[in-house]
């Protein structure tokens, strides 16, 4: 059989400029593949007010903030939930030649202090709700409080810190005080745009050094994959069109930062920007703004399939749904189709280190029910390796290793981790997959030679009435090679019963195992057992951290397993 390697040369892609910052590419540059946006199509719609913001206002605000900050070659850390000026702050940093790092707005003082120190940030922009933690972390790291500014929101007038609006107003009133950073040919590949945090394949969170070229390349890869600005089908059947409207994920994470915003803007679309995710508000927003595109993570999909409030809203405007961060089972997607019968839907796969997208469900697929994470993007070269480093064959499980023009430079300040993960131009993802000869990706477990997709089992387990969330991992077995083990989060009532009575807990575990055994072929049974857990560990984009649970499963290996 052929080795599992697919080569997609970068020459297959449209031109990727290597002399632009991301701000210049987004706000100033007309790429040949970029559709013309009519003036009445806003870039941002503020969810709670309905305010519409267009290109010229964004450009003006970006200039004003950059002119007020007037710094060069610095690092700006944004510690805030979504805000209409979040992207303005990013683009202002890029105009100045600075680097942006986004922090999870739920971080504690210690977690934020770690990121400030790891990035050597000299400016923190935060939200009024997050200011106490930001100031506390600033004190811990020795950052002066006058280097902490806040976005304008309810309550911002009660603090002494400069607001972003004050800075913008001041910057617009002053004569030019900065010179915009201009890149020489090729510098886009070396000058850093983002320090985005990832766990990598092991260890503590690491600062991923993402050059300007990487997100620009990924935007063009995704646009080329979706034939943006190509009249490949009747207008009503084209997947991404100017004037379409998209929901938004958290902007501090790479999924929201690149695919969900910069690519959406490139396609001529609008985003509805909510400060924080609230599921009922999310449903209201789809109804109110007639949102056409939903970019989701698996927890959102589960809510759409299970939450009783869904039926009370008009969601008929939705015609495209993509889920990323963790694989979904075909059964879960089938439930989603019942809610959105006319929408195209499927999955994608990406990482922080690849500046988001590696694979997406293709244009010729209406409903991606095969359990895969889609097909490889153009410009991505992928191979699957066995533990000994040799090439696996197509459809054989192994570690996914890729090349792409959108790859990061490595981990800032961590040459050892960089050396382990970025090897001779290849990025070792740490994810076990199988790759088909047509370029489709599947996350896999192998039981007695049979391939088992964790997502398929997860979809089945989620159908159990007492299960709220789950993640399936493999444990080693002398006879079978690997066995599936399910970590399960129960709904509150059965969770309380299981906590109070160990016998009830065992009965629920056996009930879940029986449910899977009754609905799946024998080798897909949960022979590794069921373990209850308070919450499934996920990264900020919603991706299941299987590595964390695999490590936990190894520690449980010696425990007796409930039998059917």
Task: Render pLDDT for 4-62 as a digit per residue (tens, 0 to 9).
Answer: 888 888 888 999 999 999 999 999 999 999 999 999 999 999 999 999 999 999 999 99
Residues sharing a CB contact under 8 Å with residue 445, sequence separation 6 or more, in sequence order: 397, 432, 451, 452, 453, 454, 472, 473, 474, 482, 484
State how far the Cα of 466 lies from the Cα of 334, in Å rounded to an integer. 20
- Which of 410, 472, 479 minimizes the C-alpha distance to 209? 410
| pLDDT at position 243 | 96
| pLDDT at position 556 | 77
Task: Render pLDDT for 382-413 as a digit per residue (tens, 0 to 9).
Answer: 999 987 889 999 988 888 999 999 999 999 99
State how far the Cα of 531 lies from the Cα of 477, in Å rounded to an integer. 17
| pLDDT at position 537 | 84
Q: Is the pLDDT of residue 450 over 80?
A: no
Which of 439-443, 458-462, 513-517 holds the top average pLDDT? 513-517
Residues sharing a CB contact under 8 Å with residue 92, sequence separation 6 or more, in sequence order: 23, 62, 63, 65, 66, 69
State how far the Cα of 197 lies from the Cα of 257, in Å rounded to an integer. 12
How far is CA 558 from each of CA 290, 322, 471, 524, 555, rounded to the nearest angstrom? 53, 39, 20, 21, 7
Q: Is the pLDDT of residue 494 over 90?
A: yes
Q: Burial, 120: exposed, middle or buried (Cβ in 10 Å; 0-12, 13-18, 19+)?
A: middle
pLDDT class of 481 with cuts at 50, 70, 90: low
- Which of 326, 255, 237, 350 minimizes the C-alpha distance to 294? 255
| pLDDT at position 445 | 67
Judge whether 222 and 259 are in contact, CB under 8 Å.
yes
State how far the Cα of 508 lies from the Cα of 526, in Å rounded to an integer. 13
Helix 330-339 and helix 454-462: axis angle, to 10°?
Answer: 50
pTM metric for this prediction = 0.83
Which 3-state string (H, E, C) describes 509-521?
Answer: HHHHHHHHHHHCC
Judge whether 457 and 472 are in contact, CB under 8 Å.
yes
How much of the chain exceeds pLDDT 70, in percent? Answer: 92
| pLDDT at position 564 | 46
Judge whether 60 and 154 are in contact, CB under 8 Å.
no
Q: CB count, 10 Å around CB of 7?
A: 9
Please tell me the least confidently modeled range out of 24-38, 117-131, 323-337, 524-538.
Answer: 323-337
Residues sharing a CB contact under 8 Å with residue 410, sequence separation 6 or more, in sequence order: 208, 209, 417, 418, 421, 422
State how far the Cα of 81 lies from the Cα of 206, in Å rounded to an integer. 21
State how far the Cα of 346 lies from the Cα of 467, in Å rounded to an integer. 23
Mean predicted confidence (pLDDT) in 421-446: 85
| pLDDT at position 199 | 58
Q: Is the pLDDT of residue 213 over 80?
A: yes
State how far the Cα of 259 lies from the Cα of 352, in Å rounded to an integer. 11
- Which of 305, 308, 288 minimizes the C-alpha distance to 296? 305
State how far the Cα of 360 lies from the Cα of 375, in Å rounded to an integer. 5
Which residue ranges form the domains of the chain, and what is each CATH number? 5-17+189-443 (3.40.50.12780), 54-182 (3.40.50.980), 446-555 (3.30.300.30)
Sole residue written with tokens 């789950």: 470
C-beta pairs of 104-109 under 8 Å, 24+ apart in sequence? 104/250, 104/252, 104/253, 104/540, 105/79, 105/80, 105/81, 105/130, 105/250, 105/252, 107/79, 107/133, 108/133, 109/133, 109/136, 109/137, 109/140
Q: Is the pLDDT of residue 202 over 60?
A: no
Q: Is the dihedral of CA 292, 298, 300, 306 positive or negative?
A: positive
- Which of 114, 29, 120 minimizes the C-alpha distance to 73? 120
| pLDDT at position 298 | 78
Task: Render pLDDT for 333-381 as a digit per residue (tens, 0 to 9).
Answer: 788 999 999 999 998 989 899 999 999 999 998 988 777 889 999 999 9
Judge whether 355 and 215 are in contact, CB under 8 Å.
yes
pLDDT class of 542 with cuts at 50, 70, 90: low
- Tokens linked to 158: 């009660």
Task: Render pLDDT for 406-432 as a digit per residue (tens, 0 to 9).
Answer: 999 999 999 998 998 999 999 998 887
Judge whether 31 and 262 are in contact, CB under 8 Å.
no
Please tell me the least confidently modeled range out of 65-74, 352-361, 438-447, 516-525.
Answer: 438-447
Q: How many residues are present in the chain?
A: 564
| pLDDT at position 478 | 52
- Tokens linked to 256: 């929201």
State how far the Cα of 453 lies from the Cα of 451, in Å rounded to an integer. 7
How much of the chain exceeds pLDDT 90, in percent? Answer: 66
**Between residues 197 and 56, the one the model is more confident about:** 56
Q: CB count, 10 Å around CB of 419?
A: 11
């Amino acid at each position: 059989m052929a080795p599992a390697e697919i080569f997609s040369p970068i020459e297959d892609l449209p031109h990727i400029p290597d002399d632009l910052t991301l701000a210049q590419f987004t706000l100033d540059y007309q790429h040949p593949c970029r559709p013309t946006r009519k003036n009445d199509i806003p870039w941002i719609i503020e969810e709670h007010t309905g305010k519409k913001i267009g290109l010229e206002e964004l450009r003006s605000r970006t200039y004003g903030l950059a002119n007020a900050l007037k710094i060069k070659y610095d690092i700006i850390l944004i510690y805030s939930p979504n805000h209409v000026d979040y992207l303005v702050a990013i683009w202002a940093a890029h105009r100045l030649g600075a680097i942006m790092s986004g922090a999870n707005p739920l971080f504690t003082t210690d977690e934020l202090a770690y990121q400030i120190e790891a990035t050597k940030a000299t400016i923190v922009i935060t939200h009024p709700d997050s200011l106490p933690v930001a100031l506390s972390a600033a004190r811990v790291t020795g950052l002066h409080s006058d280097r902490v500014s806040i976005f304008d929101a309810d309550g911002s007038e009660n603090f002494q810190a400069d607001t972003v609006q004050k800075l913008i107003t001041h910057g617009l009133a002053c004569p030019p005080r900065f010179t915009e950073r201009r890149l020489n040919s090729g510098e886009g590949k070396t000058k850093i745009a983002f320090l985005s945090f990832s766990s990598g394949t092991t260890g503590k969170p690491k600062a991923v050094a993402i050059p300007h070229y990487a997100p620009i390349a990924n935007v063009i890869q995704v646009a080329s994959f979706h034939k943006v600005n190509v009249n490949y089908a009747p207008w009503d059947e084209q997947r991404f069109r100017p004037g379409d409207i998209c929901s938004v994920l958290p902007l501090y994470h790479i999924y929201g930062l690149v695919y969900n915003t910069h690519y959406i803007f490139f396609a001529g679309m609008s985003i509805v920007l909510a400060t924080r995710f609230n599921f009922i508000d999310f449903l209201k927003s789809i109804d109110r703004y007639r949102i056409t595109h939903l970019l989701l993570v698996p927890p959102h999909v589960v809510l759409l399939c299970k939450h009783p409030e869904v039926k009370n809203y008009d969601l008929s405007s939705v015609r495209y749904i993509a889920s990323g961060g963790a694989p979904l089972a075909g059964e879960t997607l089938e439930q989603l189709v019942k809610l959105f019968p006319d929408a195209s839907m499927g999955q994608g796969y990406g990482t922080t280190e690849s500046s988001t997208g590696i694979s997406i469900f293709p244009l010729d697929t209406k409903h991606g029910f095969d359990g895969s994470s889609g097909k490889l993007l153009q410009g991505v070269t992928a191979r699957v390796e066995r533990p000994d480093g040799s090439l696996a064959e197509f459809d054989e499980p192994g570690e996914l290793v890729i090349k792409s023009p959108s790859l990061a430079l490595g981990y800032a300040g961590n040459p050892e981790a960089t050396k382990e993960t970025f090897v001779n131009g290849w990025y070792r993802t740490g994810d076990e997959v199988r790759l088909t000869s047509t370029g489709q990706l599947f996350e896999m477990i192998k039981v007695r030679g049979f391939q088992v997709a964790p997502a398929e089992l997860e979809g089945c387990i989620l159908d159990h009435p007492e299960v709220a969330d789950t993640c399936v991992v493999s444990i080693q077995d002398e006879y079978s090679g690997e066995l599936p083990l399910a970590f399960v989060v129960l709904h509150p009532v059965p969770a309380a019963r299981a906590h109070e009575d160990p016998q009830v807990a065992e009965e629920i575990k056996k009930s879940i195992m029986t449910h899977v055994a009754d609905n799946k072929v024998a080798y897909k049974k949960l022979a590794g057992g069921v373990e209850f857990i308070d919450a499934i560990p996920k990264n900020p984009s919603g991706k299941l951290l299987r590595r964390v649970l695999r490590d936990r499963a190894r520690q449980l290996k010696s425990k007796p397993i409930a039998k059917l």
